With several copies, the nearest count.
Chain A
Amino acid sequence: MNVRVLLFAHLKEIAGESEISLELDAEATGATLLKKLTELYPAADAQKGYLRLSMDGEYLSEDGTIVPDSEIAVFPPVSGG
């Protein structure tokens, strides 16, 4: 499946884009998506556990299954406030 992925903060700068699309197997998990992303952008491969995922505006764990046609976002730990 083809997944739309929003990027934020330093990830957006590394990719030079705020949105990319990734081709993933059906039933792919968050971990698969992160692996694919860091292959594409080696500079995004920070320490393990650094990147956060969300699906349709809810946090998604690395074990979580990517649902087709959902809005995925990848970003670093938040720093609002």
Chain B
Amino acid sequence: MFEITEKTIDPNELVAKVDSARAGAISTFIGVTRNFTGDFHVDYLFYEAYHEMAIKMMKRIGEQTLEKFPIEKIAISHRIGRVNIGEASVVIAVSASHRAEAIEACHYAIDTLKELVPIWKKEFMVDGDQKWIANDPKWN
């Protein structure tokens, strides 16, 4: 499952998607909207996607992760639109026979997602300020 959604993401749903008879281990990563960035007080975040390309890249990350690691299944869900503090912006779940593979594959998938998937985050501060963010710290 590779989806972009405007609704709350339920991590348990992704866990259910990757469950398999051979999977002894499931690793999940949940990206959560933080209240603080440095000294600034974030009110909420807004995510925008280049939907078609983002889905294509998410599927490719899924395929690459399955090629690189001996895992069973992978699912990725990314939220767009307004995301409040404490809510999940992204959830990745990976199942595998063994734990190290599940964990390492999940790590690889989130790293690659943050590099490749065309989705952008705008921070809305409590003081009314707003700013588009880049994952590469060079551009912030």
Contacts and interface: CB of A to CB of B under 8 A. Distances in A.
- Is chain B found bound to chain A in the same assembly? yes
Interface string B102-140: 000000001001111111111000000000111110010
Interface string A63-75: 0000000000101
A59 B116 CA distance: 9
A78 B13 CA distance: 26
Contacts of A10: 132
B115 A76 contact: no
A76 B48 contact: no
Chain B, interface residues (CB within 8 Å), range = 20 to 34
Contact of A8 (B90, B117, B118): B118
Contacts of B114: 78, 80-81
Interface residues of A, number: 21
B89 interface: yes
B132 A79 contact: yes
B121 A80 contact: yes
B134 A77 contact: yes
A9 interface: yes
Contact of A78 (B52, B89, B134): B134
B139 A78 contact: no
Given A8-B50, A73-B50, A78 B119 contact: yes
B123 to A, nearest CB: 10
B96 interface: no
A80 B110 CA distance: 10
Contacts of A81: 31, 78, 89-90, 99, 110, 113-114, 117, 119, 135
